[in-house]
């Protein structure tokens, strides 16, 4: 694998992981700042330990028990569902039918819920902070694990894929610590759109290949053009999403001013300031 391909792999996993880690960080920060840092960090630590166990068990099962086509079908189907969920949100946001994801708003909702939750204590910990932090970190972490497995196996370089996710986690935590709050400047909507396209592309490719497990010889189905089909799939999902954005677009009542904040608008032309506001 050439260095440019390795960089591409790192960037893809990094972008996908940043989105997940930012969401997990927002939950932990909300619990820590409003209730108990000790309990929130204990929940985070427990989730990380559970994630290591889950990754080891899933990795062992994938490597030893499942034939290649069964692994492609199971992981591909999960990725396809994740990717299309993200793509659905991106299309609805771009067409003005859903509010753009705002990490500050998410943080406010979490802190509000934390303030109104009861004061139940278990094992010397504030149980609400512990459980919410645990669930947030574990849920987002499992998605990162699947993303690393898929991109790592597709590129035949698991260590580089894992490194991309690790760099994302470390950087997000460092920036979160420096900011003392949720990372609202991360262009999450744009990243989610891009990552949704990638996940839908790889998910489609793998899930359909994996259907070969049901064929008489049990081997993966072949895509016309082999791996080049990934490019056609990416283009297909992108075009479909743009057509849907255009078809579902709602006319905006008032034009936005150019000086409005535009976080999340980095590279996709359809994410206009009007849609961000």
Partner 1 sequence: MSFLKGFGQFWYDFIIGDDWKIAVAVVVVLTAGAIAVATGGTESALLVPLLAVGLGAAFTTALLIDTRKT
Q: Are strands 125-126 and 121-122 parallel, antiparallel or unpaired?
A: antiparallel
Which of 76/194 has CB closer to partner 1?
76
Q: How far is the CB of 146 from partner 1 (least distance, A)?
A: 10
Q: Which of 33, 244, 256, 277 binds partner 1 (CB under 8 A)?
A: 244
In whole angstroms, what is the distance from residue 176 CA to residue 194 CA? 23
In whole angstroms, what is the distance from residue 45 CA to residue 152 CA? 25
Site for partner 1 in 153-212 (CB under 8 A): 204, 207-209, 211-212
Per-residue tokens: 152 = 């790592």
The reply to whether 26 sits near partner 1 by the rule CB under 8 A is no
Q: Which of 91, 147, 163, 183 binds partner 1 (CB under 8 A)?
A: 91
- Which residue, among 188, 202, 24, 222, has the nearest Cα to 101 in the 3D structure? 188
In whole angstroms, what is the distance from residue 266 CA to residue 164 CA? 21
Q: Which of 38, 101, 135, 242 binds partner 1 (CB under 8 A)?
A: 135
The reply to whether 88 sits near partner 1 by the rule CB under 8 A is yes
Site for partner 1 in 67-86 (CB under 8 A): 73, 77-78, 80-82, 84-85
125 forms bridges with which residues in the sheet? Answer: 122
What's CA 129's distance to the chain center, in Å?
23
Q: In which element (H, E) is residue 49 found?
A: helix 37-64
Q: How far is the CB of 208 from partner 1 (least distance, A)?
A: 5
- Name the CA dihedral angle for 161, 147, 183, 135, rounded to a multiple of 10 degrees: -130
Binding pattern for the stretch 202-241 against partner 1, x by CB under 8 A and - elsewhere: --x--xxx-xx-xxx----xxxx--------x--xx--x-
Half-sphere exposure of 114 (CA within 13 A, CB side): 27
Q: How far is the CB of 52 from partner 1 (least distance, A)?
A: 18
The reply to whether 142 sits near partner 1 by the rule CB under 8 A is yes
Q: How far is the CB of 147 from partner 1 (least distance, A)?
A: 13
Half-sphere exposure of 59 (CA within 13 A, CB side): 15
Per-residue tokens: 214 = 């049901």
Site for partner 1 in 96-115 (CB under 8 A): 97
The reply to whether 54 sits near partner 1 by the rule CB under 8 A is no
Residue numbers of the site for partner 1 (CB under 8 A)? 73, 77-78, 80-82, 84-85, 87-89, 91-92, 97, 135, 138-139, 142-143, 204, 207-209, 211-212, 214-216, 221-224, 233, 236-237, 240, 244, 248
């Amino acid at each position: 694998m050439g260095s440019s391909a390795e960089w591409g792999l790192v960037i893809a996993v990094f972008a996908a992981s940043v989105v997940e880690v930012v969401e997990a960080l927002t939950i932990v920060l909300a619990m820590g700042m409003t209730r108990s840092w000790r309990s929130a960090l204990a929940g985070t630590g427990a989730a990380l330990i559970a994630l290591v166990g889950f990754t080891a068990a899933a990795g062992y099962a994938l490597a030893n028990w499942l034939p290649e086509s069964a692994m492609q079908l199971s992981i591909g189907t999960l990725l396809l569902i994740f990717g299309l969920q993200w793509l659905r949100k991106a299309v609805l946001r771009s067409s003005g039918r859903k509010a753009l994801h705002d990490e500050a708003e998410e943080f406010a909702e979490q802190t509000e819920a934390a303030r109104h939750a009861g004061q139940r204590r278990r094992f010397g910990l504030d149980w609400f902070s512990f459980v919410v932090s645990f669930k947030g970190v574990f849920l987002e972490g499992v998605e990162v694990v699947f993303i690393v497995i898929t991109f790592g196996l597709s590129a035949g370089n698991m260590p580089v894929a894992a490194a991309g996710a690790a760099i994302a986690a470390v950087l997000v935590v460092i920036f979160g610590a420096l900011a003392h709050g949720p990372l609202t400047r991360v262009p999450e909507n744009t990243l989610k759109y891009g990552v949704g396209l990638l996940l839908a592309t790889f998910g489609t490719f793998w899930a359909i290949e994996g259907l070969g497990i049901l064929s008489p010889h049990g081997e993966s189905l072949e895509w016309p053009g082999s791996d080049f089909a990934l490019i056609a799939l990416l283009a297909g999902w992108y075009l479909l999403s743009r057509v849907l954005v255009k078809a579902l677009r709602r006319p905006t009542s008032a034009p936005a001013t150019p000086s409005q904040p535009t976080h999340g608008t980095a590279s996709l032309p359809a994410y206009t300031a009007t849609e961000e506001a």
